[in-house]
Amino acid sequence: MIEGENDLMNRVPSRPPLSCRTSPPQGGRAALRVFLAAALFALASPVQAASVSDQFRAWLDADLWPAAKAQGVSRKTFDAAFAGVSPNLKLPDLVMPGEKPKPPKKQHQAEFGSPGNYFAEKTLQPVTSGGRARVGRVSQTLSAVEKRYGVPGEIVLAIWGRESGFGAAKIPYDAFEVLGTKAFMATRKDMFRKEVLAALTILQKGFATRAMMKTSWAGAMGQPQFLPTSFLNHAVDADGDGIRDIWTSTPDTLASIANYLKHYGWVSGRDWGFEVSVPDSVSCALEGPDRGKRISEWASMGITRVSGKPFPAHEAKAEGYLLMPAGRAGPAFIVTPNFYVLKEYNESDLYALFVGHAADRIAGGDRTFSGSWGKVGGMLRSDIAKLQERLEAKGYDVGGADGLPGYKTRRSIGEWQAKNGQAPTCFPSQALVRSLP
């Protein structure tokens, strides 16, 4: 069991969703709204656009500067960081000054969308074949990293590939433009305020130059896609040049990813998890990191590995957790505490599963899941939120009615279905929205 694991963390990414990190999401209504607002500012109302910029400048001086100063940032550093910076109104998830934030109706984060799309071969292949191609090239670094941090090389490669295409992804934004805009006017501005202050600390302490500090549109920096607080806490200098260079150094990037996982409790010697068959006699409502059992107990309930092999002996006597990301409409897994460590990198079951699965393929050759994903994940967030509210009204814990179907929502659905004489599916559906009073 991971300390502090809860459904809020389960369903709200602690970091920006990586599928959206290198380019703004296409077609998201919120993004479109912001884009239109930005276009309106630019075309029809230059005075208003100027006024947002003026308000940003006033906020920098009156609000952010005192906070930065209090943590040891000099005026010179502060001014250098924000020289020439004005709010970037094209970034998604912004709230115009004077407006109220609106919860998104549509699901535009791939991490919480259709699992079938998320695990498409065209998405997996570049990570797995790219990872295999690099095993030889960076073998010395990988074995040093494995030895020092206890994290398997293929896990580090899978994250590197997923986050930045092994450093090939364009990460073109200025950290202070993105983080400054978001701290000023994003839906999660408190979180970004901490991040922009951390970015100022990085600059003040000379850990990186402003020119180096490039981010995705979501403010995540460099090849491991670290937010500035993660950089301060987890980045390491592995090539010995004295700089924690997560932008251009491969050894620093790989060691920093492994160090991050180690800090979050990666258990050396344990797997991340195994795909399994779950008989109908075992309820899908048993899933979740707070319902762990010895893996041998899960096996005695009739759960078997799809490979036909038994669970490794050292795993069988340790704790494991049932994971069914699409309920009965998709593959099932017994995962270890390391699965939840991967979720610390991005709070989504599908993300952690992608990394574990890609790592298995890098190490052991391409294979697909034995179970197939049903047509799930296409519902509107607003409809899932409606379902969650109805379950909450009946006393079920769904981890907050946020429209994201995390394990608390999935198993509450299963429990309600069982209680009402239905075969548990443990996943939201339109039929459930209609039938659940």
241 vs 280, beta carbon nearer Ca ion: 241
- Rounded CA-CA distance 37/31 in Å is 10
The region of 94-102, 162-170, 220-228, 233-241 touching Ca ion under the rule CB under 5 A is 233-241
Site for Ca ion contains 252 (CB under 5 A): yes
The one among 243, 258, 299, 341 contacting Ca ion by CB under 5 A: 243
- What is the Cα–Cα distance from 350 to 353, expressed in whole angstroms? 5
- Tell whether residue 366 is a contact of Ca ion (CB under 5 A): no
The region of 28-36, 238-246, 282-290, 295-303 touching Ca ion under the rule CB under 5 A is 238-246
Half-sphere exposure for 328 (CA within 13 Å, toward CB): 16
Identity of the residue, 206 or 365, whose beta carbon is nearer to Ca ion in the bound complex:
206
Q: Which of 237, 319, 383, 392 binds Ca ion (CB under 5 A)?
A: 237
Compute the least distance from the CB of residue 322 to Ca ion, in Å: 41
Strand-pairing partners, residue 160, are none
Nearer CB in complex with Ca ion: 127/243? 243
Q: Between the CA of residue 163 and those of 26, 106, 124, 213, what are the distances in Å?
A: 19, 24, 12, 17
The answer to whether 111 contacts Ca ion (rule: CB under 5 A) is: no
Question: Between 239 and 366, whose beta carbon lies closer to Ca ion?
Answer: 239
| Selection from 427, 401, 399 nearest residue 413 by Cα | 427
The CB-of-235 to Ca ion minimum distance in angstroms stands at 9
Listed ranges 10-18, 151-159, 252-260, 373-381: which one lies at the site for Ca ion (CB under 5 A):
252-260
Tell me whether residue 154 or residue 245 sits nearer to Ca ion (CB atom): 245
For residues 117 and 110, give the distance between their C-alpha atoms in angstroms, rounded to a whole number.
Answer: 8
Would you say 141 or 181 has its CB closer to Ca ion?
Answer: 141
The token pair that represents 57 in the structure block: 């400048």
Question: Could you tell me the smallest distance in angstroms from the CB atom of residue 248 to Ca ion?
Answer: 9
Answer yes or no whether residue 5 interacts with Ca ion by CB under 5 A: no
The structure tokens 């501005």 sit at 189
CB-based closest residue to Ca ion? 237
Closest to 357 measured CA to CA, from 155, 164, 206: 155
Per rule CB under 5 A, is residue 121 in the interface with Ca ion? no
Please say which residue, 252 or 360, places its beta carbon nearer to Ca ion. Answer: 252
> Rounded to an integer, what is the distance from CA 159 to the centroid of its chain?
11
DSSP 199-213: HHHHHHTTSS-TTT-
Compute the radius of gyration of the chain from its Cα atoms: 23
Nearer to Ca ion, 258 or 285 (CB): 258
DSSP 8-state symbol, 144: H
Question: Does 81 interact with Ca ion (rule: CB under 5 A)?
Answer: no
Q: How many residues bind Ca ion (CB under 5 A)?
A: 7
Kindly tell me which residue out of 99, 241, 290, 389 binds Ca ion, with binding defined by CB under 5 A: 241
CA atoms of 388 and 401, how far apart (whole Å)? 5
How far is 217 from 90, CA to CA, in rounded Å?
A: 9
Distance in angstroms (rounded) separating the CA atoms of residues 203 and 198: 9
> Minimal distance in Å, beta carbon 236 to Ca ion?
8
Q: Is 183 in the site for Ca ion (CB under 5 A)?
A: no
Question: What minimum distance in Å lies between the beta carbon of 3 and Ca ion?
Answer: 31
* Candidate ranges 190-198, 241-249, 315-323, 390-398; the one touching Ca ion (CB under 5 A): 241-249
**Is residue 231 at the binding interface for Ca ion, with CB under 5 A as the rule?**
no
When the beta carbons of 197 and 208 are compared against Ca ion, the nearer one is 208
- Alpha-carbon span 333 to 274, nearest angstrom: 5
- Please list, in sequence order, all residues whose beta carbon lies within 8 angstroms of the beta carbon of residue 298, skipping any fewer than 6 positions away: 276, 320, 322, 334
What residues from 377 to 406 belong to the interface with Ca ion (CB under 5 A)? none
CB of 246 to Ca ion, least distance (A): 9
Which amino acid, one-letter code, is at 408? Answer: K
Q: In this structure, is the dihedral angle defined by the CA atoms of residues 381, 406, 217 and 129, taken in order, positive or negative?
A: negative
Distance CA(180)–CA(432), nearest Å, equals 42
| Closer of 249 and 388 to Ca ion (Cβ) | 249
Which of 93, 174, 245, 287 is the binder for Ca ion (CB under 5 A)? 245
- With residue 322 as reference, give the H or E element that holds it: strand 319-323
102 residue type, one letter: K
Question: With CB under 5 A as the contact rule, which of the stretches 91-99, 163-171, 207-215, 243-251 interacts with Ca ion?
Answer: 243-251
If binding is defined by CB under 5 A, does position 61 make contact with Ca ion?
Answer: no
Residues contributing to the site for Ca ion (CB under 5 A): 237, 239, 241, 243, 245, 249, 252
